[in-house]
Amino acid sequence: MAAKTDQLLIVVSILEGRHFPKSPRLSLVVQASFDGEQLATDPVEHKEQPQFSTELAWELDRRTLHQHRLQRTPIKLQCFTVDSVSKRRESVGYIVLDLRSVQEVRQEPRWYPLLSSKYTKQRPALLLGLLLENDTKTSEPSPDRFKAKKAPPRQGQLGHGCLFALFVVKRRVSWRSCSAAESRRDWQVKLETPRQFHM
């Protein structure tokens, strides 16, 4: 049996949903809160069976986990709709997970109905998996593991072709082509006065 490490990850897998009405203008986001820290899924299409396929994880040690279990600190998942035009968020419902039910043995995902759902005709639910994992990244890596290896020599040299550079200046993005012969001073001027290029 492998030795238990002190550092752990609480992993909540948000797999999919069911019984959601189809709404092309809206997308769905699930936001998870634990101990004051919030994590969220990427927005997904608002359809009957939305596919989230996302894992959210919080790092803590065994002692802190024990304290949270004694205090019955919940993991709260809140589902929101996001309007694609106005970007306005509206709550669809929520789920409260008991931290004491999270085990170090992988269990089958199960369906959790959304509480206080705004969709009263159907009963939307999320398929969730809960797991307590050992945080393996805390183990000491061998010093050789991160040593850079010598790159193989390149074939040929820089020819007459153009290089492309992406400038992000004052929230404007522009492409600029330049030859390899241009000086650093030329680059500085271009950085200060970017031009838009349409591709």
Residue 169 lies in a domain: no
> Is residue 148 a part of any domain in this protein?
no
What's 128's domain CATH number?
Answer: 2.60.40.150
In this predicted structure, what is the pLDDT of residue 41?
Answer: 96
User: Which of 14-28, 52-66, 130-144, 165-179 has the least mean pLDDT?
Assistant: 165-179
Domain range for 41 is: 7-134
CA distance linking residue 192 with residue 187, whole number of Å: 9
The pLDDT > 70 percentage for the chain reads 66
Closest CA to 126 of 77, 89, 58, 82: 77
List, for residues 94-152, the tens digit of each pLDDT value.
Answer: 999 999 888 888 889 999 999 999 998 889 999 999 999 987 764 444 444 334 444 44
DSSP label of 12? E
140 domain-assigned: no
Q: Are 162 and 178 in contact (CB under 8 A)?
A: yes
| 136 or 63, higher pLDDT | 63
Residue 188 domain flag: no
* Rounded Cα gap, residues 55 and 15, in angstroms: 8
> Would you tell me how many other CB atoms lie within 10 Å of the CB of residue 72?
9
**110-113, strands of its sheet edge to edge:** 51-61, 7-18, 125-134, 110-113
Q: Give a yes or no: residue 1 inside a domain.
A: no
pLDDT at 178 over 60: no
Q: Please tell me what DSSP assigns to residue 115.
A: B
Q: Could you give the CA distance from residue 133 to residue 50 in angstroms, rounded to a whole number?
A: 26
The pLDDT of residue 4 is 62
> What pLDDT digit, counting tens, does each position of 20-38 carry?
999 999 999 999 999 999 9
Number of domains in the chain: 1
Q: Is the pLDDT of residue 7 over 70?
A: yes
Q: What pLDDT score does 68 carry?
A: 94
pLDDT of residue 6: 83
Which position has the higher pLDDT, 150 or 51?
51
